[in-house]
Amino acid sequence: MPGEGPLLSSLKLVSASLTVGLVPGVLCLLASGLAARVSLLETAALGIALSLAIAQGFTMVIILMHVPVTAAVTILVCGCVGGGLLAAWKERRSTGRVGDQKGDI
């Protein structure tokens, strides 16, 4: 875009890379409880490996099944919302409440 400086361009590149290449895997590790037992560096490394596998698996399924893009996006959004609700339900069930505990802040 015109008027976009190098700082904004690099910020957009890094945020997109983290969103696709790190966040899905780290969220899977957090949901499984494994992230609490490994270091931050190990969490990042496993998150990158899982994210790449997740993206490749979704791509293969979408291409092989000839799924339209709108249907694929709808399925992925529903899966993300369902996974988030499942993680919140598991947390509520194990502790009796979600977030905003006095020790969190």
Chain segment 70-81, per-residue pLDDT in tens: 998 888 788 777
Share in percent of the chain as helix, strand, coil (round to 5)? 80, 0, 20
Beta-carbon count within 10 A of 43 CB: 19
For the chain, domain boundaries: 1-65, 67-105
pLDDT mean across residues, the chain: 82
Q: What is the pLDDT of residue 28?
A: 85
| Bigger pLDDT: 83 vs 60 | 60
| Bigger pLDDT: 99 vs 51 | 51
Total-model pTM: 0.66
Q: What is the pLDDT of residue 1?
A: 60
